[in-house]
């Protein structure tokens, strides 16, 4: 009997560039452009500094390059450092099924694997699609949060399938690398709730670090637990508590690829708050700006949205008085407050002095967040948010957002993605270099070796 790990290993080994429709190839490039822009934006963050210092302690006979720096270290630590940069601003893409997360986090592992595997741009595109298929298809069938597990539990699987493919592993070796990864990477949901720590932006980077390490082990002949999903001590028993079947992955005979259903973030905050931010900005324009009204005249703001969104981003008192960036960008009331007060959601608003601004905190205190059964019933097709803004004079405005900008049913254009990239990278590098980097990314299928790409990201 063929195991699930063997089936997935065969898929990762066999998918070809020619199996991908042009729209899927272009979407993969859009995701890679967006992800590298986020990495450039997160380069000088505190978690990235820590990751870079850790990477600097290691030299390797099989070195891999860290984005933005040109420095080299071991492959696993390069993937970790790159992943921390990608994730720090909470600005990279998302996917919502029964579970939700950020499949582009796996691109950290893929960049490293492509470099050490001497893969080209076409192979990087294929591996990106593989990783997205694994991540999103798992999200479609299992909700890990109620069980206490984090989405990085499946992120590790996505990273190892794509990375192992780029490193040239065969079907059996990829299945082995996956088996080791599944057995060794079960992460806790506590990472994303309460007073959120730096680890929120590092957890998937760690999953990618492990994926590189396990792929290298399998390549050298390490064996792994089997059957890792179906066994009496396997994934179905210990994690999901019941067997599941994955829908057919996209390929030559299956035209549907889940990468087409991923969102790109318009705002630098958790994906469940994208609709809330959109609604708050619209409410500000309709009520405050149109009638020349000050935020001090607001009596209350009522947000109604998904249960999952409320639980994660408005489920505890920390979200009304966030003490750090990680909690603020995962706070629905803070997000709404920033949008209403400033009319723009810039990355600077998630740090001091804004975190402790009395006027902003007073506005946030007026925000009430409750669950909408209608929103629950429409998840994941829509990310419905209803917002009522009530002024002290009794005037009320109702705002409904079903598909925020960046949602797959209201997608950002290529120009908007490039504008976002430039806003994140523009202060990091000269315009000619930035232009050259974007040109290479939009023509990724022409890239012959990864060093040329890493060089273009280097900040002098």
- Clarify whether residues 213 and 236 are in a common domain: yes
Report the first-to-last Cα separation within the chain, whole angstroms: 55
Residue 423 lies in a domain: no
**182 with 258, same domain?**
yes
Same domain, 81 and 218: yes
Q: Does 54 share its domain with 88?
A: yes
Note whether 249 and 330 are same-domain residues.
Answer: no
Please state, for a pLDDT cut of 90, what percent of the chain lies above it.
96
Q: How confident is the model at residue 305 (pLDDT cuts 50, 70, 90)?
A: very high
**Domain count along the chain:** 2
Q: Tell me, yes or no, whether 428 lies in a domain.
A: no
Task: Looking at the structure, tell me whether residues 237 and 301 fall in a common domain.
Answer: no
Are residues 228 and 142 both part of a single domain? yes
Give the residue-averaged pLDDT of 223-244: 96
State whether 234 and 276 are in the same domain: no
Q: Which of 354, 372, 401 finishes a domain?
A: 401
User: 227: which 2 tokens?
Assistant: 């059957």
Q: Which two tokens stand for residue 346?
A: 């810039």
Q: Give the distance from CA 46 to its chain's centroid.
A: 19
Do 13 and 80 have their domain in common?
yes
pLDDT digits (tens, 9 = 90+) for 171-210: 999 999 999 999 999 999 999 988 899 999 999 999 999 9
We report the CATH number of the domain holding residue 91 as 1.10.4100.10
In whole numbers, what is the pLDDT of the chain averaged over residues? Answer: 96
Residue 412 lies in a domain: no
Shortest CA distance to 271 belongs to which of 355, 341, 329? 329
Domain that holds residue 22: 4-264+439-456
Q: Is 275 domain-assigned?
A: yes
Is the torsion defined by CA of 218, 222, 227, 229 positive or negative?
A: negative
Q: Band of the pLDDT at 292, cuts 50, 70, 90? A: confident
> Which pLDDT belongs to residue 67?
98
Residues in the chain: 460
- Looking at the structure, do residues 232 and 209 belong to the same domain, yes or no? yes
Phi-psi bin for 351: left (phi > 0), alpha (psi -120 to 50), beta?
beta
Does residue 250 share a domain with residue 154?
Answer: yes
Backbone angles phi, psi at 393, to 5 degrees: -85, 5
62 belongs to a structural domain: yes
Q: Are residues 138 and 174 in the same domain?
A: yes
CATH number for position 293: 3.30.1330.120
The upper half-sphere exposure of residue 47, i.e. CA atoms within 13 Å in the direction of its Cβ, equals 26
In a domain, 433, yes or no: no
Cβ neighbors of 383 (< 8 A, separation 6 or more) are 96, 271, 272, 274, 275, 305, 306, 309, 375, 401, 402, 403, 404, 407
pTM above 0.85, yes or no: yes
pLDDT range class, residue 291, cuts 50, 70, 90: confident
Task: Look at residue 1 in the predicted model and tell me its pLDDT.
Answer: 85
Is 53 part of a structural domain of the chain?
yes
pLDDT digit string (tens) for 8-66? 999 999 999 999 999 999 999 999 999 999 999 999 999 999 999 999 999 999 999 99
- Give 73's strand partners: 64
Flag whether 234 is in a domain: yes
């Amino acid at each position: 009997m063929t195991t699930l790990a063997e089936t997935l290993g065969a898929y990762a080994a066999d998918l070809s560039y020619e199996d991908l429709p042009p729209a899927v190839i272009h979407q993969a490039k859009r995701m890679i452009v967006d992800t590298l822009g986020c990495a450039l934006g997160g380069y000088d963050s505190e978690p990235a500094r820590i990751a870079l210092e850790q990477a600097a302690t290691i030299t390797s006979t099989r070195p891999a390059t860290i984005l933005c720096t040109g420095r080299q270290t071991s492959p696993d630590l390069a993937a970790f450092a790159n992943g921390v940069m990608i994730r720090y601003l909470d600005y990279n893409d998302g996917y919502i099924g029964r579970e939700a997360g950020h499949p582009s986090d796996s691109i950290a592992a893929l960049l490293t694997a492509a470099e050490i595997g001497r893969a080209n741009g076409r192979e990087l595109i294929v591996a990106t699609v593989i990783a997205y298929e694994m991540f999103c298809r798992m999200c479609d069938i299992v909700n890990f949060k109620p069980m206490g597990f984090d989405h990085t539990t499946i992120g590790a699987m996505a990273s190892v399938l794509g990375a192992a493919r780029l490193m040239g592993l065969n079907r059996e070796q990829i299945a082995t690398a996956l088996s080791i990864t599944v057995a060794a990477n079960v992460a806790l949901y506590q990472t994303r709730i309460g007073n959120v720590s730096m680890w929120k932006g590092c957890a998937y980077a760690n999953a990618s670090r492990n994926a590189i390490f396990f792929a290298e082990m399998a390549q050298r002949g390490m064996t792994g637990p089997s059957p890792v999903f179906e066994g009496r001590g396997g994934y179905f028993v210990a994690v999901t508590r019941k067997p599941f079947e994955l829908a057919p992955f996209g390929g030559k005979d299956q035209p549907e690829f889940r990468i087409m259903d991923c969102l790109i973030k318009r705002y630098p905050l958790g994906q469940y708050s994208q609709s809330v931010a959109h609604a708050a900005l619209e409410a500000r324009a309709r009520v405050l700006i149109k009638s020349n009204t000050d935020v001090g005249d607001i009596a209350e703001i009522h947000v109604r949205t998904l249960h999952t969104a409320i639980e994660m981003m408005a489920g505890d008192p920390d979200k009304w008085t966030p003490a750090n960036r990680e909690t603020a960008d995962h706070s629905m009331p803070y997000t709404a407050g920033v949008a209403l007060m400033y009319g723009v959601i810039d990355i600077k608003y998630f740090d001091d002095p804004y975190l402790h601004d009395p006027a902003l905190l007073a506005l946030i205190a007026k925000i009430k967040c409750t669950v909408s059964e209608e929103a629950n019933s429409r998840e994941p097709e829509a990310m419905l948010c209803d917002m009522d803004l009530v002024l002290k004079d009794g005037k009320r405005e109702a705002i409904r957002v079903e598909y925020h900008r960046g949602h797959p049913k209201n997608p950002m254009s290529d120009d908007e993605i490039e504008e976002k990239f430039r806003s994140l990278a523009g202060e990091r590098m000269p315009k000619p270099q930035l232009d050259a980097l974007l040109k290479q990314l939009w023509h990724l299928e022409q890239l012959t070796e990864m060093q040329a790409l890493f060089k273009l990201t280097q900040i002098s």
